[in-house]
Structures are given as structure tokens and as C-alpha cells.
């Protein structure tokens, strides 16, 4: 029970940046723009967040800076891919490379700490929030325990993310903007014929993408750890992209894919060095491969065919 | 008008004179440089910092401190290079060697292959690699007995632990890091034979050195299992470990340089690798002419590794604890306690 509680607790912490980045990718890809630059945008956002949160000693300002930074990079992506019909892969990759290079350089130049930002003071970080009644309900069997130890005690961005998922689902499926966004990703010509600007819709989608991606990056440096470190995203952007495909470009399944990745990660951490029944102790390398093996198995066996938005990766040109 | 003309003429002559002077100066420079390479009388040490840069508050910065100390004491300037991407390692060594420096210190095991490749091409240049071994007639390898320092901090961890469970978080899963964990476990068991030792590795690729989020998750998972002192030998990942320890009210142990200041009051101690001493000594030896190729292994006895006690952790270490650790230290130095090196022991640890 203790182990399960601690694992579920970790799942939410680890899943948060994946969910945010996954949803960011969802906005962009459902609008027909491939976003391989999630990793770079997260990294740049993590740097901006860490730097501003340190200077201002305020996590919210840091998060804002993170969101603005990722938004800026998303706009660069939009400018290259939507306005100028550039190759979306190339633009995304360029963002990744630029972010990976410029963040430690700026960090070194500004803070002189070897490519990282200074460790945040306590007031510069998001602190765990104890939800009301967490203490009193702790003794209620199972449910009380789940509430006080798993659901309560996370940082503000985790709860924000929990609100953002239904919001994204609502925007995507119940609003006019959502309809247009999905249409732009599947059949931009039809949208254009209906008198809606494809470019404008894609720009808006990428703006949402930037904001969410910035939150993901900011969470890494301001909430989950304290400060930016070179390459600290460690592939989370790509993992989020995988979760997005795993989740068939839909918000709820993407959330579950992220939770699954996070859960297997938490499991992996707790299985290391623990002798298992029958087989005994398993080598670290194998345990660390578990999340990926599980992903492959699930993708092959249960998820079925993931169909991408039809116009994904194609720049929209009115007539040829 | 005439005045102006005259002024211009004189001005031009001045320029010519300066130019001639600078040519002569350059020629002199070249001559002296050539002399330096030919006779090797001028002693120029050099140091190549690895990724992270010389102000990384850790390994490289310690090396920098050693080089600076040498410069301050002898007045001899040194050349330096900061690697910013992996392809520069060989280039940097080549450039320095070609310019005729006397001794080049390469900081960090990641530079091993570059040193292996470049050293044979410049038999007159002395190469030094820190934290790894290169076999060449003109190469010196400085390695540390991490297991001895880790033994001390492990003993201190067991003394400070209330639950009797101590944790270890390694960066990339390589024998070097396992040696840290193994020494730590031996130290903990020496104090408390019933102590539980829980170890985690962050990963199997170099990103494992730079994943503070994972470090903090690993630490929290260990805390949930009852660990209350955790030793992080994981580079930047350790920052996350120390943060998690602070958040959860547990203790962490730093590594490489003195990290007690990172989270004052919750870092129990740091396992020091005195890279500064190593750099200083090898520069001095090279200057005095007592420099020798081969492998030098620095332990507690040679002041190559140690534990850190300063204002930041003073309150965490009681007088009794300090006394006990000093006793153990003396016994290791005297050879009464034998700390087993994971690497020398066929990559196995007597304690699991």
C-alpha cells in the first residue's frame, strides 16, 4: 500500500510536464503543423523560468517568463512553417538545436555557474499545496489515504494541469475555434473555402502550443527541481510527442498515455535493486527499459491504429 | 598649411617606425617561441576543462582552483581551454601540444580517448588525465580512491541516520560510480552492520548526469522506503537530490567538491575529490622536473579524497560523530581498515 501510494504520487509529479507538452503538441499537430521542437521549447522555457524565478524570487513570474519564451519560439516556428511554408521538421529541429546551445551559453554568461541557473530560494519555487481536509481525512481507509497522500500535496502547476486537460478537450471539441483547428489539420482547403484563414488558425494553434509548452518547461525548473540545468529536459519533449501519437492525437487518451509513461517510470525507480519474486534481482538496464518495452507492447497490442491528422506536415498553399 | 603637411609627414614616419618596431618585436617573439619549443626551457603548463566549464562549482572548478594556486605561488601563467562540445577535446589537445606547452592536464574521464589519441603524437609533451587511466610513455593518470572517501561519508551517514537506512543515488551506471556506492555501503555497515543500503542509478546514458527532476524523484522514492540520508554521486542530477532532501526534511551528502553550501543545513557533508591538489602537484612536479608518467592513485593518505566540514554542516555533525569519523579516517590511512574497491574487486561489491 505504501509503495503504491508513493508510486501514484510520483506518477502525477512526473506526468505533469509530459501532459502539458503533449497537449501543446496536440494543438499544433491537430492544426496540421508537426512540432518536433517541443523539446527545445521546453528547454528554453525551463531556462527562462529558472532565471526569472531566481531574479524575481517569484515562481509565477518565472512561469510567465517560461510561457512567453516558448510562445516566442512557437511564433518563430509558425513564421517559418505557416507564413513561409517551410519544412516543419527542419524548423522544429532548428529550435531544438538552438535551444540546446543557447541556454547553457546564456546561463554561463549571466550566472557563471557552469551552464546552469542558481539554485532557487524557497520563495522562488512552487511549494506543495495541502488541499483542505487532507489532514483530517488521512485516517479514512483507502480513500482518505489516497486523498491526503496522492491527490493533496502537489504544486500549483500540477493542479493547473488537471484543469487544463478538460479545458483543452472542451476547446477542441465544443468550440468554433476547436472545430476550425481540427478542420485545418485535416482539410485546410475546405476551411479556406469556408472563408476562414488557415494561417490565422494555425498561428493561434501554435500560440496555445507555446503557452502550454512553456508551462511544461517552467514546471521542470521551478516546481520539480530548483533551477535550470543544461539539457535538463532529457528527452521529455520527445516522450510527450510519443504520448501524443500513442493517444491518437486526442486529449484524454494523451493524458492516459502520459500517466502510463509516468507510472512505468515511477515503477522503474522502485524496482531498481529490489529482488523480485522467482527471478531475483534484475539488472538496472533491463528495469530501465521496462517503460519502453511496455510502450511497444501496448502500441502493438492494444492501442490499434493511430491515424494522424490528414494534412499534418503539409504547408498550406492555396492553389498549385 | 605647411605646418599641417609637416605634421602629416612626421606622423607617417612615426607610423613607419612603429610598424618596423612591431615587425622586429614579432620576429623576436617568433624566435623566442621557437627557442622555447626547441629547448623547452620556458615552462608553460596548460589545462583543458571538460564540459561544464571552469565555473561548474564542482570538478572543473576544483581543477581551476589548483591551477590558480600554482599561478599565484610561482607567477607562471598557464594556458587553458574550456570544452564546449565533444568534438573539441582532441582539437584542443592538439593545438596546445603543437604550441609547445610543457604539460597538459585534461580534467575528467570523458577526455580519456582524446588523450589516448593525441599523446603518442607529441612525445615531448607531458599529458595528464584526471579521473581515468591512459597508458602512454608520456602520460600520467591521476585517479582517486573514491571508495575511501565514500567509506567516510557512509560511516557518517549511518551515524546520522535515525531509521538505519541509507540511500545512494548514482548518475550514469558505470564502475566508477558503483565504486562510490560500494565504499559508502561499506562505511555504513562498518558503523551499523544492520544498516539498510538502498541504491539507485539515474540512467545508463550521459543524460543521467543532468536530470535533476529524475534525481529528485529517485530521492523521494528512497525517502518513501525509509531512507533518511542519501548520497548523490550524480553530477547535476545531485542538485535535484539535495533539493528533495531539503523539501522532505532529510539529509543529503554532496560529492566531488564541497557542496555543503548548496542547501545549507540539510547537506550532511560532501565527499571531496581534491582535484585542486592533484592539478597543483602535477604542475609543480613538472616544473621541478620530478614529473613521472604512470598512474597515481590518491586516497585519504595522500589527501586526494576527504570529507567536508564547514559552517554549513557544523550543526549536523556532533562532536561524537566528528571524533568517530576522524578515528576511522586515521585507521584507513594506517591501513587498519581496508576499503574494498569495486573496480579492483572484479566489479563486484562485498555488500549488496
Q: What is the mean pLDDT of residues A54-77?
A: 95
* Continuous H helices in chain B: 2-39, 59-74, 88-98, 112-118, 146-160, 175-191, 212-224, 237-248, 275-288, 319-333
- Closest C-alpha among A66, A111, A116, A57 to residue A219: A66
What's the gap in Å between the CA of A25 and the closest CA on chain B? Answer: 21
In Å, how far is A57's CA from the nearest CA of chain B?
Answer: 16
pLDDT tens track for A220-258? 999 988 889 888 888 899 999 989 988 889 999 999 999
pLDDT of residue B126: 93
pLDDT category of residue B348 using cuts at 50, 70 and 90: confident
Contact across the interface for A114 and B239, Cβ inside 8 Å: no
pLDDT of residue B31: 46
Backbone conformation region of residue A226, classed left if phi is above 0, alpha if psi is from -120 to 50, else beta: beta
Residue B61: closest C-alpha in chain A: A114
Residue of B220, B240, B263 with shortest CB distance to A10: B220
**Which pLDDT value is given to residue B6?**
45
Confidence of residue A301 (pLDDT cuts 50, 70, 90): confident
Residue B5: the pLDDT is 46
Q: What per-residue confidence (pLDDT) applies to A142? A: 78
Which residue in the block uniquely carries the three cell numbers 585542486?
B276
Pick the CATH number of B147-273+318-333 from 1.20.1250.20, 3.40.50.2300, 3.40.1190.10, 3.90.1150.10: 3.40.50.2300
Chain A contacts to B (CB-CB under 8 A): 2-3, 6, 10, 13-14, 17, 108, 112-116, 119, 128, 220, 224-227, 229-232, 234-235, 265-266, 269-270, 272-273, 284-285, 288
CB atoms within 10 A of CB B192: 16
Q: What is the mean pLDDT of residues B238-243?
A: 92
Q: Is B213 on the interface with A (CB under 8 A)?
A: yes
Spatial distance between the Cα atoms of A223 and A154, rounded to a whole number of angstroms: 9
CB pairs under 8 A between A and B: 97
ipTM, two decimals, is 0.84
Nearest chain B residue to A269 by CA distance is: B218
With 60 as the cut, is the pLDDT of residue B39 above it?
Answer: no
Sign of CA dihedral B122, B126, B130, B133: positive
Confidence category of residue B35, pLDDT binned at 50, 70, 90: very low
Determine what percent of chain B is predicted with pLDDT higher than 70: 88
Nearest chain A residue to B244, by CA: A225
Tell me the chain B residues in contact with residue A231 when contact means C-beta distances shorter than 8 Å. 207, 210
- The stretch A187-216 carries a mean pLDDT of 94
Q: For residue B268, report the phi and psi dihedrals to the nearest 5 degrees.
A: -60, -45
Mean pLDDT for all residues in chain A = 89
Residue of A nearest to B53 (CA): A114
CATH, range B45-144+276-298: 3.40.50.2300
**Which residues on adjacent β-strands are paired with residue B200?**
B169
CA neighbor of B142 nearest in space, from B179, B164, B161, B115: B115
Does residue B256 contact residue B269 with C-beta atoms inside 8 Å? no
Which chain A residues contact residue B225 at CB under 8 A? 3, 270
Q: What is the pLDDT of residues B288-325, one digit of tens each?
A: 999 999 999 999 999 999 999 999 999 999 999 999 99
pLDDT of residue B321: 94
Whole-number pLDDT of residue A320 = 55
**Would you kindly state where each structural domain of chain B is located, as residue ranges?**
45-144+276-298, 147-273+318-333
Provide the residue ranges of all domains of chain A, joining segments of one domain with +: 2-303
Out of B22-36, B130-144, B255-269, least confident range: B22-36
pLDDT tens-digit readout, B137-159: 999 999 999 999 999 999 999 99
Strand partners, B169: B200, B232
pTM: 0.82
Mean pLDDT across the stretch B53-57? 75
CATH number belonging to domain A2-303: 1.10.3470
Q: Say whether B217 and A288 touch across the interface (CB within 8 A).
A: no
Asked if the model's pLDDT at residue A276 lies above 80, the reply is no
A202 to chain B, minimum CA–CA distance in Å? 33
Residues A290 and A267 sit within 8 Å (Cβ to Cβ) = yes
Buried b (16+ CB within 10 A) or exposed e, A267-297: bbbbbbbeeeeeeeeeebeebbeebeebbee
Asked if residue B118 has pLDDT above 50, the reply is yes
Q: Which of A17, A108, A231 sits opposite B207 (nearest CB)?
A: A231
Amino acid at each position: 500500500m505504501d509503495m503504491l501510494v508513493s508510486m501514484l504520487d510520483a506518477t502525477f509529479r512526473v506526468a505533469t510536464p509530459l501532459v502539458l507538452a503533449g497537449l501543446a503538441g496536440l494543438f499544433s499537430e491537430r492544426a496540421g503543423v508537426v512540432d518536433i521542437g517541443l523539446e527545445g521549447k521546453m528547454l528554453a522555457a525551463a531556462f527562462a523560468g529558472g532565471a526569472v524565478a531566481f531574479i524575481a524570487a517569484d515562481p509565477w513570474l518565472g512561469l510567465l517568463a517560461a510561457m512567453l519564451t516558448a510562445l516566442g519560439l512557437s511564433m518563430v516556428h509558425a513564421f517559418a512553417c505557416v507564413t513561409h511554408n517551410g519544412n516543419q521538421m527542419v524548423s522544429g529541429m532548428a529550435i531544438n538545436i538552438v535551444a540546446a546551445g543557447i541556454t547553457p551559453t546564456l546561463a554561463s554568461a549571466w550566472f557563471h555557474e557552469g551552464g546552469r541557473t542558481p539554485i532557487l530560494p524557497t520563495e522562488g519555487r512552487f511549494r506543495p499545496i495541502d488541499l483542505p481536509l487532507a489532514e483530517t481525512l488521512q485516517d479514512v481507509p483507502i480513500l482518505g489515504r489516497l486523498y491526503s497522500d496522492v491527490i493533496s500535496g502537489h504544486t500549483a502547476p500540477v493542479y493547473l494541469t488537471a484543469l487544463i486537460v478538460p479545458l483543452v478537450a472542451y476547446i477542441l471539441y465544443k468550440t468554433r475555434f476547436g472545430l476550425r483547428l481540427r478542420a485545418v489539420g485535416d482539410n485546410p482547403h475546405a476551411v479556406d473555402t469556408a472563408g476562414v484563414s488557415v494561417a490565422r488558425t494555425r498561428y493561434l494553434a501554435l500560440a496555445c502550443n507555446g503557452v502550454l509548452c512553456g508551462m511544461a518547461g517552467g514546471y521542470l525548473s521551478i516546481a520539480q527541481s530548483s533551477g535550470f540545468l543544461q539539457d535538463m529536459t532529457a528527452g521529455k519533449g520527445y516522450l510527450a510527442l510519443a504520448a501524443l501519437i500513442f493517444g491518437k492525437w486526442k486529449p484524454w487518451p494523451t493524458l492516459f498515455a502520459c500517466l502510463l509513461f509516468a507510472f512505468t517510470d515511477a515503477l522503474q525507480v522502485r524496482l531498481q535493486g529490489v529482488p523480485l519474486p522467482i527471478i531475483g534481482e534484475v539488472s538496472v538496464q533491463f528495469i530501465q527499459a521496462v517503460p519502453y518495452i511496455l510502450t511497444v507492447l501496448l502500441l502493438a497490442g492494444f492501442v490499434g491504429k493511430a491515424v494522424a491528422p490528414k494534412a499534418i506536415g503539409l504547408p498550406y498553399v492555396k492553389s498549385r | 598649411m605647411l605646418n599641417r603637411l609637416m605634421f602629416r609627414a612626421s606622423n607617417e614616419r612615426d607610423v613607419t617606425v612603429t610598424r618596423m618596431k612591431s615587425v622586429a618585436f614579432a620576429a623576436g617573439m617568433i624566435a623566442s617561441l621557437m627557442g622555447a619549443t626547441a629547448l623547452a626551457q620556458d615552462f608553460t603548463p596548460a589545462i583543458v576543462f571538460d564540459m561544464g566549464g571552469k565555473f561548474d562549482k564542482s570538478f572543473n572548478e576544483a581543477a581551476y582552483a589548483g591551477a590558480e594556486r600554482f599561478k599565484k605561488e610561482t607567477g607562471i601563467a598557464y594556458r587553458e581551454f574550456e570544452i564546449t562540445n565533444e568534438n573539441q577535446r582532441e582539437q584542443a589537445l592538439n593545438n596546445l601540444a603543437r604550441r609547445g606547452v610543457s604539460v597538459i592536464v585534461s580534467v575528467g574521464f570523458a577526455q580519456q580517448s582524446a588523450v589516448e589519441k593525441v599523446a603518442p603524437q607529441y612525445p615531448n609533451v607531458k599529458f595528464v588525465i584526471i579521473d581515468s587511466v591512459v597508458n602512454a610513455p608520456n602520460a600520467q593518470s591521476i585517479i582517486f580512491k573514491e571508495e575511501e572517501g565514500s567509506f567516510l561519508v557512509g560511516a557518517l551517514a549511518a551515524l546520522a541516520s535515525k531509521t538505519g537506512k541509507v540511500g545512494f543515488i548514482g548518475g550514469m551506471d558505470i564502475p566508477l560510480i558503483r565504486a562510490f556506492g560500494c565504499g559508502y555501503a561499506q562505511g555504513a555497515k562498518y558503523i551499523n552492520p544492520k544498516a539498510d543500503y538502498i541504491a539507485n542509478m539515474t540512467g545508463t546514458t550521459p543524460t543521467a548526469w543532468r536530470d535533476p527532476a529524475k534525481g529528485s524523484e529517485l530521492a523521494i522514492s528512497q525517502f518513501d522506503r525509509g531512507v533518511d540520508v542519501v548520497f548523490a554521486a550524480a553530477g547535476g542530477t545531485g542538485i535535484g537530490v539535495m533539493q528533495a532532501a531539503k523539501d522532505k526534511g532529510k539529509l543529503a551528502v554532496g560529492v566531488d567538491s564541497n557542496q555543503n553550501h548548496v542547501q545549507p543545513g540539510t547537506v550532511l557533508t560532501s565527499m571531496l575529490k581534491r582535484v585542486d591538489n592533484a592539478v597543483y602537484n602535477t604542475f609543480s612536479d613538472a616544473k621541478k622536473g620530478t614529473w613521472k608518467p604512470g598512474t597515481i592513485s590518491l586516497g585519504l593518505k595522500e589527501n586526494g579524497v576527504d570529507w567536508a566540514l564547514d559552517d554549513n554542516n557544523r550543526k549536523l555533525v556532533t562532536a561524537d560523530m566528528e571524533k568517530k569519523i576522524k578515528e576511522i579516517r586515521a585507521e584507513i590511512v594506517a591501513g587498519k581498515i581496508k576499503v574494498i574497491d569495486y573496480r579492483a574487486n572484479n566489479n563486484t561489491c562485498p555488500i549488496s
